[in-house]
């Protein structure tokens, strides 16, 4: 059993914002696996797949970013997901735009959604995939992450989101996370 959670905000007006990189990656992974988000459960919309006999759930919390931990904790409990089989995908202002960083575990950094997940799970011992959105403006952080992604930004971010979906695809098909990290981590 694997759980992949893409972080974002559920309303359509947030879809093309920097803070929805996790949702965008989840959508790309679902398309690669030919599944759709059809089920509402545990404060999330989910898509279900089977890969090599293992159940895979892709989730997008509908709790808004800062309360993402509620959905993640409920899904982990419901499906008895081991934290070693949990991957969270999210935007990260602390790394350059166009970067992809995959890690086994680590701190939540400045990301409130990740802080809430760590708090709700009581551990930071789960994999994460950070899509760099590198804030390079005097704009307040909240205004930046909720701002619309421009065409120029898409030129940098779309290939990274595709790369992240490819990395998840390989991982879910049995490639070890260390090899996935070596293959897909990308510095901008």
35 in Cβ contact with 47 (< 8 Å):
yes
- Active-site pick, 19, 85, 104, 154: 19
Provide the CA 23 distance to its chain's centre, in angstroms.
7
Confirm whether 173 is a catalytic residue: no
The C-alpha angle with vertex 70 and arms to 143 and 52, in degrees rounded to 5, equals 105
CB atoms within 10 A of CB 3: 24
DSSP 15-76: TTBGGGHHHHHHHHHHHHTT----EEETTEEEEEEEETTEEEEEEEESS-GGGHHHHHHHHH
CB half-sphere exposure, 76, CA atoms < 13 A: 21
Query: Left, alpha or beta for 92 (phi > 0: left; psi -120 to 50: alpha)?
Result: beta
Just list the catalytic residues: 19
């Amino acid at each position: 059993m694997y759980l992949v959670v893409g972080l974002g905000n559920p309303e359509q007006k947030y879809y093309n914002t920097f803070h929805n990189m996790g949702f965008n990656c989840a959508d790309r992974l679902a398309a690669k696996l030919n599944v759709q988000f059809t089920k509402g459960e545990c404060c999330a919309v989910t898509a279900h797949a089977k890969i090599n006999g293992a159940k895979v759930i892709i989730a997008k919390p509908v709790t808004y970013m800062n309360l993402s931990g509620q959905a993640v904790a409920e899904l982990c409990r419901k499906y008895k997901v081991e934290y070693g089989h949990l991957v969270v995908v999210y935007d990260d202002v602390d790394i350059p735009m166009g970067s992809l960083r995959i890690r086994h575990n680590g701190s939540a950094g400045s990301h409130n959604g990740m802080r809430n997940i760590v708090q709700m799970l009581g551990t930071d011992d789960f994999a994460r995939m950070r899509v760099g959105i590198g804030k390079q403006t005097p704009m307040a952080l909240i205004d930046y992450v909720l701002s619309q992604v421009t065409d120029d930004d898409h030129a940098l971010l779309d290939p990274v989101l595709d790369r992240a979906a490819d990395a998840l695809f390989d991982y879910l098909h049995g490639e070890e996370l260390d090899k996935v990290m070596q293959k897909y981590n990308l510095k901008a």
